[in-house]
């Protein structure tokens, strides 16, 4: 896995040199490459077109892993929205479909996000999940203690634990633009000890005073990420 991470670095390093010289970088792949998720540890990355050999496609692998869930999925993210970046924001349903598919099979899903998700329209998509059987959403707000550091004081982890058996740790938020258009890495571990440690970290914040259940009837005010009011 370390060698594959090094290969990603070298690919990106060379690509930036080519771009800086005014050249174009050709994709390494023209088709989706399914990751071998049966091994004890798998490295995934995005975008798939620029992944070296042996590195799986994050966008392809996440729905497959979610489809394995039988009992419980715990997810912690900075941002969640089935939308792409840019204006207008197009619909990007991959994550949403995976969660709804798990719920339809009777799997319980606990999704924890930062209070940045209280902005519209993202908060409305979260509310549409909360009403589904087996779904819980909690929003984490970190106190600023009278001061504000721009774009800080927020949960930033991107983790998932499936049935206490599979751990997912990565750099991608769950919205369009991460697993399809920008360089991100994910590690999947089929290791019960690690999966249970990820679940325990999730529960530590989930059960803390900073995490509150999302109320579908409440009109939320989004936080001031950039501290414009404080400035």
What is the three-class DSSP state of 75? strand
Report CA dihedral (209, 211, 215, 219) to the nearest 10 degrees.
90
- Least confident span in 25-34, 50-59, 103-112, 216-225: 25-34
Contact 95, 61 (CB under 8 A): no
Yes or no: say if 134 and 103 are a contact pair by the CB < 8 Å rule.
Answer: yes
- Give the pLDDT score at 148: 78
pLDDT tens-digit series, residues 1-16 = 999 999 999 999 999 9
Query: Can you tell me the mean pLDDT for 125-138?
Result: 98
| Residue 231 reports pLDDT greater than 60 | no
Candidates 183, 16, 166, 154; CA nearest to 77 is 154
Helices (H), the chain: 2-20, 58-68, 94-104, 122-130, 192-206
pLDDT exceeds 50 at position 178: yes
Q: Is the pLDDT of residue 42 over 50?
A: yes
Give me the pLDDT at residue 230, please. Answer: 43
Average pLDDT, the chain: 94
Range 38-213: architecture per CATH: 2-Layer Sandwich (3.30)
CB 51 within 8 A of CB 45: yes
132-161 tens-digit pLDDT: 999 999 999 998 877 778 888 899 999 999
Instruction: Specify the pairing of strand 159-162 against strand 72-76.
Output: antiparallel
In this prediction, residues 68-85 reach a mean pLDDT of 96
pLDDT band of residue 32 (cuts 50, 70, 90) is confident
Q: pLDDT at position 124, please?
A: 96
Q: Which of 31, 77, 73, 97 is nearest to 166 (CA)?
A: 73
146's torsion region: left (phi>0), alpha (psi -120 to 50) or beta? left
What dihedral angle (degrees, nearest 10) is formed by the CA atoms of 121, 122, 123, 127?
A: 100
Euclidean distance between CA atoms 200 and 206, whole angstroms: 9
Confidence of residue 229 (pLDDT cuts 50, 70, 90): low
The DSSP bridge pattern shows strands 135-140 and 211-213 to be antiparallel
User: Rounded to whole angstroms, what are the CA distances from 128 to 34, 50, 99?
Assistant: 31, 35, 12
Predicted local distance difference test score (pLDDT) of residue 211: 98
Model confidence pLDDT, tens digit, residues 218-227:
999 988 888 8
């Amino acid at each position: 896995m370390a060698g594959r991470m090094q290969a990603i670095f070298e690919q990106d390093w060379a690509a930036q040199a080519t771009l800086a010289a005014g050249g174009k970088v050709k994709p390494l792949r023209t088709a989706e490459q399914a990751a071998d998720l049966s091994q004890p540890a798998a490295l995934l990355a995005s975008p798939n077109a620029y992944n070296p050999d042996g590195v799986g496609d994050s966008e392809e692998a996440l729905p497959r892993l979610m489809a394995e869930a039988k009992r419980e999925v715990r997810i912690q993210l900075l941002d969640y929205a089935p939308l792409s970046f840019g204006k207008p924001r197009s619909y990007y349903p991959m994550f949403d479909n995976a969660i709804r598919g798990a719920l339809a099979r009777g799997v319980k899903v606990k999704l924890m996000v930062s209070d940045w998700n209280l902005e519209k329209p993202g908060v409305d998509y979260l509310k549409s999940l909360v009403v589904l059987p087996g779904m819980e959403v909690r929003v984490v707000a970190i106190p600023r203690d009278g001061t504000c550091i721009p774009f800080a004081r927020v949960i930033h982890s991107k983790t998932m634990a499936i049935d206490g058996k599979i751990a997912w740790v990565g750099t991608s938020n769950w919205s369009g633009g991460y697993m399809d258009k920008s360089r991100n890495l994910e590690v999947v571990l089929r290791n019960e000890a690690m999966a249970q440690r990820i679940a325990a970290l999730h529960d530590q914040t989930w059960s803390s005073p900073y995490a509150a259940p999302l109320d579908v009837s409440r009109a939320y005010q989004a936080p001031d990420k950039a501290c414009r009011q404080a400035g």
